[in-house]
């Protein structure tokens, strides 16, 4: 368990999948083309994780382009000028070990850059990936000989969980909307 700061909303399901929406201060020094990797590395650091495994910048993903277009259409002419680029990345983050056992999460991260509001709206969705961690790190069993955590064995539902998390991520992006721009005007 960890405390959830005021600038975050966190949603977790029974399988350990998690969605986090947060508003952070604009990173003026970070170019748009470097933003996906910057926020990916920042999330990995916040989770005390290694974040380079399987990293992919989603800049050319059709689902990201569609989500960005839908977001701009919903924002309308007035608010559309406030929206900066929508950047995203996905991959595997290796988390600190628990009882000597590798842990990993399949993560999708997006940042909606809001330069006029001097803010960034971040969305991250993650799903546990024990089999991926075991394969990547050769961690089929803990040092004490206990088997991997449930769901980490061959034939598990990890790919299904990852697909569901990816669908949730892109679904959330496709319906993302800033309803009260006044929240940013006071900043």
pLDDT at 153 over 80: no
Please report the pLDDT score of residue 186 as a whole number: 53
Bridge partners of 111, per DSSP, are 87, 122
Residues 6+ apart with CB under 8 A from 107: 40, 43, 90, 91, 92, 93, 124, 125, 126
Q: Would you state the CATH architecture of domain 8-139+153-176?
A: 3-Layer(aba) Sandwich (3.40)
pTM exceeding the 0.75 threshold for the entire prediction: yes
Query: To the nearest whole number, what is the mean pLDDT of the chain?
Result: 80
- Cβ(18)–Cβ(10) under 8 Å? yes
Query: What angle is formed at CA 94 by the lines to CA 92 and CA 97, rounded to 5 degrees?
Result: 155
* CB neighbours of residue 56 within 10 Å: 13
Residue-wise pLDDT for 159-173, tens only, equals 777 888 889 999 999
CA dist 150 and 156 (Å) reads: 8
């Amino acid at each position: 368990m960890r405390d959830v700061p005021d600038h975050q909303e966190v949603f977790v399901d029974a399988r350990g999948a998690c969605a986090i929406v947060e508003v952070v201060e604009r990173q003026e020094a970070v170019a748009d083309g470097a933003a996906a990797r910057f926020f990916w590395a920042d999330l990995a650091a916040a989770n005390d994780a290694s974040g380079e495994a399987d990293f992919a910048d989603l800049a050319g993903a059709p689902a990201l382009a569609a989500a960005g277009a839908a977001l701009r259409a919903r924002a309308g002419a007035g608010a559309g000028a406030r929206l900066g680029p929508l950047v995203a990345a996905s991959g595997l983050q290796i988390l600190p070990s628990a009882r000597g056992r590798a842990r990993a999460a399949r993560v999708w991260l997006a940042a909606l850059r809001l330069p006029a509001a001097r803010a960034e709206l971040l969305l991250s969705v993650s799903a546990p990936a024990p089999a991926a961690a075991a394969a990547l790190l050769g961690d089929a069993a803990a040092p004490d000989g206990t088997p991997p955590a449930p769901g980490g064995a061959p034939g598990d539902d990890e790919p299904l969980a990852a697909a569901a998390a990816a669908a949730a991520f892109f679904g959330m992006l496709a319906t993302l909307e800033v309803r009260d721009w006044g929240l940013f005007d006071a900043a």
